[in-house]
Amino acid sequence: MKKRVLITGAAGFLGSHLCDRFLKEGFHVIGMDNLITGDLKNIEHLFKLEDFEFYHHDVTKFVHVPGKLDYILHFASPASPIDYLKIPIQTLKVGSLGTHNLLGLAKEKKARILIASTSEVYGDPLVHPQNEEYYGNVNTIGPRGVYDEAKRFQESITMAYHRFHGLETRIVRIFNTYGPRMRLNDGRVIPAFIGQALRGEDLTVFGDGLQTRSFCYIDDQVEGIYRLLMSDYADPVNIGNPDEITIKDFAEEIIELTGTDQKIVYQPLPVDDPLQRQPDITLAKKLLGWTPTVNRHEGMKKTYDYFKSLSKEELFKREHKDFSNYTKRH
Ligand code: UDP
């Protein structure tokens, strides 16, 4: 009998890559997504497989999955600052109510559950690099608060289920991750720069561009998540690439990579945009024997080549996903 895994947010960037990985490992994969920010294009290659099923469902409503479940990976959530602004209430609900439903399902099925947390729990960090012991510096009522606080609540309720019900839980704190299948119009810096490069537009750097981020390639992220799920460690673990760069230097790298003559244009820094971010991955290295292996140059080339290979029509669709109909109901 094959092991069965439920992956929420399956049609999203991370979720779809996780579906690929678990299928490759020989699992029966049940994908679930309400398709607000996810896109069926990311998983259309899986529908022909016997070991893949898909449920179009919103996990903030009661979640029912027939049959046994060995693992649950909760990756459903809007995941970019622009999305939080457009669908703030759904962002709060999926992290809180959605997580509660999935923990209940895990308890019922006696499944191990891994929840996707984020470096955003550290907010605009006063400790650098960020290790798992740092409690964070988050503005509860700022525009990012809907995501940050939902994720912080998610960690709390997960630990409560672990302690109170003895549920097997795992928490991954994901730092900025990139690669093929990112949504081009979600406002995050990598898809923004790639879209601008493909359209021949100038690159928009927010603020003075001296804020830093550390970008992890998707394959490394998936490997870290897989190893964490299979470990026996219930406290949160950072997974990300510690190679830190300023956004301005990153824009210059993109210009070099694409070989275009774009300029950098400066725009205002969004509210509560963290000044610096770099994961301390000492714990993941020790616990999981994991370390990122794809450097930024290699990863960005793969990502850019992927988007360049899409037809104009596909690119347009990825740039113009519109979820305004949905937002009216929430
Ligand atoms: N950023 C930018 N230009 C853009 C989009 C984003 O300079 O067109 C900046 C943004 O202000 C932030 C960094 O790039 O400092 C990373 O932003 P992103 O939205 O990708 O993720 P975050 O780490 O802030 O959640």
Give the atom of ligand 1 at the shortest distance from the alpha carbon of 81: 19
Look up 147 and say whether it is catalytic.
yes
- Residue 2 backbone dihedrals phi, psi, to 5 degrees: -70, 150
- Closest by CA to 18, choosing from 42, 50, 1, 36, is 42
Please tell me the predicted confidence (pLDDT) of residue 237: 98
Token pair listed for 214: 């550390």
275-301 core/surface letters (b: 16 or more CB in 10 A; e: else)? ebbbbbbebbeeebebebebebeebbe
Q: Is the CB of 197 under 6 A from ligand 1?
A: no
Residue 330 confidence (pLDDT) = 54
Q: How many domains does the chain have?
A: 1
Give the pLDDT confidence score for residue 322 in this predicted structure.
Answer: 67
Please work out whether the CB of residue 247 comes within 6 Å of at least one atom of ligand 1: yes
pLDDT at position 84, please?
Answer: 87
Domain at 136, CATH number: 3.40.50.720
Whether 211 is in the pocket of ligand 1, judged by its Cβ within 6 Å, is yes
Helix (H) or strand (E) holding 54: strand 52-56
- Distance in angstroms (rounded) separating the CA atoms of residues 121 and 24: 31
Q: Would you call 169 helix, strand, or coil by DSSP?
A: strand
- Prediction pTM value: 0.96
Which residue has the CA at smallest separation from atom 13 of ligand 1? Answer: 189
Phi-psi region of 328 (alpha: psi -120 to 50; beta: other; left: phi over 0): alpha
Q: What domain range is 46 assigned to?
A: 4-329
In tens, the pLDDT along 60-87 reads: 999 999 999 999 999 999 999 889 889 9
Q: What is the DSSP letter of 77?
A: S
The one-letter code for the residue type at 134 is Y
What average pLDDT does the chain have? Answer: 95
Residues lower than pLDDT 70 in the chain: 319-330
How far is Cα 161 from Cα 110, in angstroms, rounded to an integer?
Answer: 12
Helix, strand, or coil here: 112? Answer: strand
